[in-house]
Each structure stands twice: as C-alpha cells, then as structure tokens.
A and B are shown apart, each in its own frame.
Chain A
Amino acid sequence: MATVLVTTLLAAPVLAGLAGTVLPAFGYLPVLGHEAFSGEPFRKLFSMPGLATSAALGFGTGLAASLISLAIVLLFTAGWAGTDTFRRLTRFLSPLLSVPHAAAAIGLAFLIAPSGFLARLASPWATGWTRPPDILIPGDPYGLAMTFGLVAKEVPFLFLMTLAALNRPHVQDYLKAGASLGYGRMATFFKIVLPQIYPLIRLPVLAVIAYATSVVDVAVILGPTTPQPLAPRLVGWMNDPDLSLRLMASAGALLQLLVSAGALLVYLLLEMLAGYGLRTRFANGRRHPRDVLARVLSLVPMLLIITAMSLSVAVLGVWSLAKSWWYPASLPQAWSLARMLDALKSGGPSLGATLAIACGAAIIATALTLWLLEARGNAGRRETGRLKALIFLPLLLPQIGFLFGLQMFFLLAGLSGTLTGVLLAHLIFVFPYAFLALSDPWNRLDPRYAKAARSIGASRARVFFRVQLPLLLRPVLVTFAVAAAVSTGQYLPTLMIGAGRVVTVTTESVALASGGNRQIAALYALLQLVVPLVGFTLAALVPALVFRNRAAMRLER
C-alpha cells in the first residue's frame, strides 16, 4: 500500500510532466489556442542560431564534469580508504556537500574571475595587472569554468555516496585480503572492492550525469553566454513574454531529454568498456605494489577541490562584509556590517519562504520515507534495490524535461506561484534523497529489537515510536537535514512553479549573480547556507543531548 502510494506520488507528476512537455512540442497547447499537431515548434527550434553549439555545450560540460568527478572520487578512495588522511578529509567533504549549487558557483566565480580573489592575490606584484584583464572567465566559450564548478559540487556528492557504499560488511577485510596477497592499495580497490560496491554508486552517477547535462543555475553563473548551453536557453524562452515561444521551448525540452539520454548512453558504453577491461585483468596477477606516486597524485585533485570550495565560501563571507574593495587589493579597504544588516532585512521574506518550503518538504519527505520503510519492513520486504531505482527516476531525467509540462498542470490546478505548489514540486526531488539517506541505516537496524518489543506485547505503532524511531534518531535527523538542504538548493522547480511570485534565496541569488552588486550577490549566496547549516547542526546536537547518558548510542556513527 505504502509502496504503491509513494511510487505513484513520484511517477505521476513525472509522467504527467513529460506528457505536458511532449504535446506542446508537437504544437498542441489548447490553453493558448494551439489545437492542431504540427512540426512547427521543431522547425522554429532548429532555426535558432547556435542551437547545435548549445546542445553540444550541455552534453560536453555535463558528461565531462561527471566523468572527472567520478575519476577524482574513485582514485582518491582507491589510494586512501581506511587511512587517517581519508577520515580527516571526509570531515571536510561532508559539509561541502550541503553548499547549494548556486552558492558554490557564485563563490567560485568570485574566486577565479580576472577580478576575483585569486587574481587579486597575485596582482599587481606578480601579474602586473592594475585593472582586471579582459579574459572571459567565468563564461569562457568552452564551458571550462562551468565544468569546474560542476566538478567541485559533484565530487562531494559522489564521495559521500562511495563512503556509504564502503560501509558494507567485510570491505575492511577485503582490503586486508588484497594486501596480504601482495596487492597495492589501489590495485586492491579496483580489482576487489570496486566491483562489489559499484552497483551502489551507479544510480548516483547516472543522476549526476542527468543533472549536469541539463543544469541551469550553474550554467547561468559560470557558463558561456554566446550561446548559452541548451538548458538555460530553454528557460529563457519559456519565460519569454512572447507566449508562442513556449511551444518551441517544449520542443527544446525534448531535445534536452535526447542530449541527456545521449550522455547517459555514452556513459553506459564507457562503463561497459571499463568493466570489460577490468575483468580481463582480475586474474593476471599484476599487483602494482609500488603505488605511492599514484596515491599522492590521486590526493592532489581532491585537495584542490576542497581548497577551492572552502576558499569560495570564505570569499563570499568577505564580500558580504566589504564596504569598498578596489582592484587589485587582496582584502577590502573598508568593512561594513550595516550594509549586510540592510540586505538581511530586505532578504528576510525570501529567507522565510526558503525556510518554510525546506522545512515543509523535509518533514513530508522524511515522514513518507519512514512510513514506506516501516511498512515494507513489516511486510518482510527489506530488499530495496528495485524500489530505489524507481524512486530515483525523477533524478535520472533532466528536470527541465518534465517541469515545463508540470508547470502547465500546476497552473490549471491554481497552484502555480503558491508556496504549496513550489513545496510539492520540491518534494519530487527531495524525496529520493531522503530515501537514499535513510534506507541504509533503517535496513542496518537489528530487526531483533523490534521482535523483542513485539514479543513483550508492544503494538506496531508503539514499536515504531518507542523503539525504532529513537534508535534511528540520528539518521532520521540527518535525513531531515539532507532533505532541507536539497530543497534549499532547488533552482529550476522554484523558478518554474513559483512563476516569479515565490522567491527563495536561491532564485534571488542566481538573479543577483549576473548583476553588478557583488556585496548583495555574496550575501544572498551565503543566506543559502543558512538552512543546511542549521539543519546539520541540529542533527548533530540533538542526539548528543538526548543520548548524553547512553554510551552505546554515541558509539554508533
């Protein structure tokens, strides 16, 4: 019952959204008086200048960013899993995951632009620049800055997914087995551990590809402009006052689906080749025991990402407190708290909306996940592999592919431009992450606790509220925080369903990023961090307080 309901809840909007995108793409949109099917929207789409370049940019930057991120994560894990270095860097990477895409992109822009922090550090003593040089970064025509921004954001995500997969039983023993047979660390990881954990990180990788090939906010902030990648161009057409462009935008959304599907196909092909290459080497006995150099090299990109992300957030902080900061000074000449407080006041409503939506979506998503897991556990079905694939579906499609259509239905239902509408739209993307975060801890919970409680006469509800929920308090709160962070980071659903009437700090900061006022842009980007920060702090503090006299509950990670 719960399974059916939840999957319908997810599948229905996706399918409806897809239908609502396909029909207008072929000229059918009765609301606007288009009632005859035609190929006109596609003809118009293909006559747009630079369309091929846009599509290629989306495909190339997205696929490259995903592959690079995966490579960085796997090489680093191969070289360092189980070491102190690994544990220490893990502590850095987890909070970086909660930095929303838009905030990270704005921070990176302020870091690497010719007028950014890095150039200021080296100017004028090393570069001789007394004014920012005329270099197109970010916004370079090949999308390199955009790719870098995506990599910086996807590395923490894929890393934490890999970390969760490494929690499987015996992984430590397999590492030992490899070493005792004479295999180097990296060879052990790729030949023994990776083949076993890859199925667990595959869906997240596919989700990253679908997301990165169709990303809008990062593309607007860091991507090229002449032309833009496909996804942000589509959003531009969709929001154009000329309503007839909507048909063309829908046709474009289908093209975007093709672009993302193409990238996924290419990835699956590469995966097949890599798998084949690896399998033929399983039994050849090459042990690669001298891998110190490779291990050190695998550390470099990871450190680079962590440094870049941390600096980006720091630069946002400096900018939001700067009163005047003339080029090429490394730090502001004058600081001011007053401007920040002013901006905070004007940003209050959008922060309020962000909080309301994030909390609402997180509560609903966490509750639904718990209900689903409890119901399945009670029915004796603990295996969640296929269910996970189903729940992941909304993340494996480019958002833009079905949000266009969904927007139409929300409009008809009178939900467009309301907090409720935006919250519901967020839920489609928040729920999969909530499920992802909670299903493993739930399944790891020893089922004998519930059995013991049932055998002394506790009802199912009592077992859930008095035994299972308290035992899982920490992962449940983490799930809530993850869900709230995911909701806060949503740009496109807020933009499309909010229709300009629901404004969150995320939509606001993307809009401000292209404007001239860096203080305000930095401040709104920082405001995006408030929700995840509060969420994760609570998730750490509450269990520590509640269980301060329970040693066993502290030991559990």
Chain B
Amino acid sequence: MHSSDRSSGLVLDTVTIRLDGVPLLEIDCRILPGEVLTIMGESGSGKSSLLDFIAGFLRPDFTAEGRVILNGRDLTSRSAQDRHIGLMFQSPLLFPHMSVLQNLMFALPATCKRRQDRQDLAERALADVGLAGFGSRDPATLSGGQQTRVALMRTLLAEPEALLLDEPFSSLDRTRREEVRQLVFDLARKKGLPVLLVSHDEEDARAADGEVHRLGNGEAGNGCRTE
C-alpha cells in the first residue's frame, strides 16, 4: 500500500461535476501516497462538491462523471462508509455528547475488541499530539487548536487510506494554524496517505509543498496532471 506501485494513491479519473447540468469543475489527476494536492478556489467554485463527490456525499442536484480510484479500488459506486477516506471539516466537529477519549475510541476499528486495548490506543493517540491526560475532558472545554488535533487523531485512528481536508485550519488563529498544519502534513506523510487539501489561504498551499490546482469562479478548471 505504501509502495509506489502503479496503482497506489488517489486517482481522480477525468472527473466532471455539474450543477443542474452546468459544468462546475473538471479535474484529472493522481495524488501519490504521502503527497498533498492543494485545490484553491473562491467560494462557489465547487471545491466542497469535489470533496463531497470523492467522499461519497454528492448532493442530488449535482451530477458527476469520472471515477475515483484509491489504491487500485474503484470507489465511485461505493457507499461513503465503505470508502475508507478520512475527512476533516472546517470545524473540528468533535461529538459533543462524548468525552475526548470516547471520540477517539469511536473511530477505532471494532476488530480491536478489548475495552482496555481500545482505551490504551486512544490514550497513546492523544499523547502523540501532545494532549496526554485530556481523555476524560469534555470536548467543549478544549481550545480550537486542541480540538483540531483531536479531530485529526480521530480521523487517523479509523485507518483511512486517503485524507480529505476541507479548510480545517481556517478556524484557527494565526500562531496555532502553522503548528497544527505542520502536524497534519507530517502525520499524513508518515502514514503514506494521499492528501487532498481544499483552501483559499495561500499560506496553506505553500506549507503543503505540493501540486496546486486553481479553480476559476464558476468556470470549469483546466485540470492538472500529476504522474
């Protein structure tokens, strides 16, 4: 999976998304494991619908052509829960009725059965992002940066094979943003995950240090090719 064999990575194979029949964006590219593709665009340029399409949530008023292929598996007709694609939103979206630790244990696969093991894994994940001992806290009492870090670990504990980031740093203040951003990219690289980042912050694109794809407002983009 982590090797660079021909099928690994996230492939967007001649994807076109239309809103009520009008083409919104076109894209055709491949993101290798550990690499980041940044998609820049104004609001309304179809960034979010592209993420929705890849993750399996495209709204019915949109139509899409093309295929999504992840590590050789064609995901296009699979349901969202079978795609193994991790998603980070603009807000951390921790589940407010669970503790921080429960949020993480929620994401652990059920194949890890023993409660103690699950707890240990979740606590180790917390420690990995410098939040050791925060497990029993109410998510609402954490700062924005802390919440985003928990959300990141929640996404990763579910063992995704690719990562979609929907401006997850935009809610953070300037100093935190840099730090959290680096953490996300480092972990994704370490785990060899292809990452697709959607943003309108030039900083993000620079930090991602990868291909950048710009969408025009309302027009069809011209598509990138990364081979």
For chain B, the bracket of interface size reads 35 or more
Q: Tell me how far the C-beta of B36 lies from the nearest C-beta in chain A, rounded to whole angstroms.
A: 18
Contact (A184, B81) CB under 8 Å given A176-B55, A196-B97, A283-B98: yes
B80 lies within 8 A of chain A by Cβ: yes
* B96: chain A residues within 8 A (beta carbon): 196
Within 8 A of A (CB), among B56-103: 56-57, 60, 79-87, 89, 91, 93, 95-98, 101-102
A134 lies within 8 A of chain B by Cβ: no
Contact with B along A476-509 (1 / 0, CB 8 A): 0000000000000000000000000000000000
Contact, CB under 8 Å: A181 / B55: no
Q: Tell me how far the C-beta of B77 lies from the nearest C-beta in chain A, rounded to whole angstroms.
A: 14
Q: How far is the CA of A195 from the CA of B103 in the complex (A)?
A: 14
Contacting residue for A289 out of B56, B82, B86, CB 8 A: B82
* A142: chain B residues within 8 A (beta carbon): none
Chain A residue with the shortest CB-CB distance to B86? A180
Q: How far is the CA of A51 from the CA of B147 in the complex (A)?
A: 59
B105 lies within 8 A of chain A by Cβ: yes
B106 lies within 8 A of chain A by Cβ: yes
A179 lies within 8 A of chain B by Cβ: yes
Chain B residue with the shortest CB-CB distance to A178? B81
B220 lies within 8 A of chain A by Cβ: no
Contacting residue for A176 out of B82, B87, B154, B155, CB 8 A: B87
Q: Tell me how far the C-beta of A537 lies from the nearest C-beta in chain B, rounded to whole angstroms.
A: 27
Contact, CB under 8 Å: A285 / B97: no
Contact, CB under 8 Å: B158 / A182: yes
Q: Tell me how far the C-beta of B39 lies from the nearest C-beta in chain A, rounded to whole angstroms.
A: 18
Contacting residue for B109 out of A176, A196, A285, CB 8 A: A285
Contact, CB under 8 Å: B97 / A181: no
A556 lies within 8 A of chain B by Cβ: no
Q: Tell me how far the C-beta of A141 lies from the nearest C-beta in chain B, rounded to whole angstroms.
A: 43
A465 lies within 8 A of chain B by Cβ: no
Interface centre among A170, A178, A179, A192 (most CB of B within 10 A): A179
A376 lies within 8 A of chain B by Cβ: no
Contact, CB under 8 Å: A174 / B154: no
Contact, CB under 8 Å: A177 / B93: yes
Contact, CB under 8 Å: B95 / A84: no
Q: Tell me how far the C-beta of B225 lies from the nearest C-beta in chain A, rounded to whole angstroms.
A: 27
Interface centre among B57, B81, B82, B91 (most CB of A within 10 A): B81
Contact, CB under 8 Å: B106 / A191: yes
B108 lies within 8 A of chain A by Cβ: yes
Contact (A179, B56) CB under 8 Å given A283-B98, A289-B81: yes
Q: Tell me how far the C-beta of B107 lies from the nearest C-beta in chain A, rounded to whole angstroms.
A: 5
Q: How far is the CA of A176 from the CA of B93 in the complex (A)?
A: 11
Contact, CB under 8 Å: B82 / A180: no
* A84: chain B residues within 8 A (beta carbon): 60
Contact with A along B172-191 (1 / 0, CB 8 A): 00000000000000000000
Q: Tell me how far the C-beta of B80 lies from the nearest C-beta in chain A, rounded to whole angstroms.
A: 4
Q: Tell me how far the C-beta of B84 lies from the nearest C-beta in chain A, rounded to whole angstroms.
A: 7
Q: Tell me how far the C-beta of B119 lies from the nearest C-beta in chain A, rounded to whole angstroms.
A: 8
A287 lies within 8 A of chain B by Cβ: yes
Contacting residue for A283 out of B86, B102, B155, CB 8 A: B102
Contact, CB under 8 Å: A183 / B81: yes
Within 8 A of A (CB), among B171-214: none
Contact, CB under 8 Å: A176 / B81: no
Contact, CB under 8 Å: A286 / B80: no
Contact, CB under 8 Å: A285 / B106: yes
Contact, CB under 8 Å: B106 / A181: yes
Within 8 A of A (CB), among B26-66: 55-57, 60
Contact, CB under 8 Å: B106 / A282: yes
Chain A residue with the shortest CB-CB distance to B82? A289
Contact, CB under 8 Å: A182 / B105: no
Q: Tell me how far the C-beta of A307 lies from the nearest C-beta in chain B, rounded to whole angstroms.
A: 25
* B154: chain A residues within 8 A (beta carbon): 181
Chain B residue with the shortest CB-CB distance to A170? B93
Contact (A170, B106) CB under 8 Å given A176-B57, A181-B154: no
A173 lies within 8 A of chain B by Cβ: yes
* B115: chain A residues within 8 A (beta carbon): 284
Contacting residue for A179 out of B80, B93, B102, CB 8 A: B80
Q: How far is the CA of A176 from the CA of B158 in the complex (A)?
A: 14
Contact with B along A269-302 (1 / 0, CB 8 A): 0000000000000111111010000000000000
B118 lies within 8 A of chain A by Cβ: yes
Contact, CB under 8 Å: A181 / B107: yes
* A195: chain B residues within 8 A (beta carbon): 95, 97
Contact, CB under 8 Å: A285 / B87: no
Q: Tell me how far the C-beta of A528 lies from the nearest C-beta in chain B, rounded to whole angstroms.
A: 37
Q: How far is the CA of A282 from the CA of B108 in the complex (A)?
A: 11
Q: Tell me how far the C-beta of B196 lies from the nearest C-beta in chain A, rounded to whole angstroms.
A: 13
Chain B residue with the shortest CB-CB distance to A291? B81
Contact with B along A185-227 (1 / 0, CB 8 A): 1000001100110000000000000000000000000000000
Contact (A180, B91) CB under 8 Å given A282-B106, A285-B105: no
Q: How far is the CA of A83 from the CA of B97 in the complex (A)?
A: 25
Contact (A283, B80) CB under 8 Å given A176-B87, A182-B158, A196-B97: no
Contact, CB under 8 Å: B95 / A192: yes
Q: How far is the CA of A178 from the CA of B95 in the complex (A)?
A: 10
Chain A residue with the shortest CB-CB distance to B95? A192
Q: Tell me how far the C-beta of A164 lies from the nearest C-beta in chain B, rounded to whole angstroms.
A: 19
Contact, CB under 8 Å: A180 / B93: no
Contacting residue for A177 out of B87, B98, B105, B109, CB 8 A: B87
* B108: chain A residues within 8 A (beta carbon): 285
Contact, CB under 8 Å: A283 / B82: no
Contacting residue for B98 out of A180, A282, A285, CB 8 A: A282
* B82: chain A residues within 8 A (beta carbon): 182, 289
* B83: chain A residues within 8 A (beta carbon): 180
Cross-chain pairs A/B with CB under 8 angstroms, 10 sampled? A176-B57, A179-B80, A181-B106, A181-B107, A181-B154, A192-B95, A282-B106, A284-B115, A287-B81, A289-B79
Besides A181-B107, A191-B106, A289-B82, 8 more A-B contacts (Cβ < 8 Å) are A173-B89, A180-B160, A196-B97, A282-B98, A282-B102, A282-B105, A282-B106, A285-B110
B: residues with CB less than 8 A from A are: 55-57, 60, 79-87, 89, 91, 93, 95-98, 101-102, 105-112, 115, 118, 154-155, 158, 160
Would you list the 8 A-B pairs with minimal beta carbon distance, nearest first? A283-B105, A179-B80, A180-B87, A285-B110, A195-B97, A181-B158, A283-B102, A289-B81
